Amino acid sequence: MDAITTVEQYRKVLLRINMLMNKGSQRISCEEMSEIRILRAQASEYERVRYDFSLVAATDEN
In a domain, 35, yes or no: yes
In a domain, 27, yes or no: yes
Domain count, the chain: 1
> What is the reported pTM?
0.77
Residues 9-24 pLDDT 10s: 999 999 999 999 999 9
Q: What is the pLDDT along the chain (62 residues), one digit of tens a residue?
A: 689 999 999 999 999 999 999 999 899 999 999 999 999 999 999 999 888 777 555 555 55
Instruction: Quote the CA–CA distance of 10 and 51 in Å, as a whole number.
Output: 13
Q: Is residue 2 part of a domain?
A: no
Domain that holds residue 40: 7-61
Chain centroid offset of residue 5 CA: 11
Q: Is residue 49 part of a domain?
A: yes
Q: Which residue type sits at 59?
A: T
d(CA 18, CA 12): 10
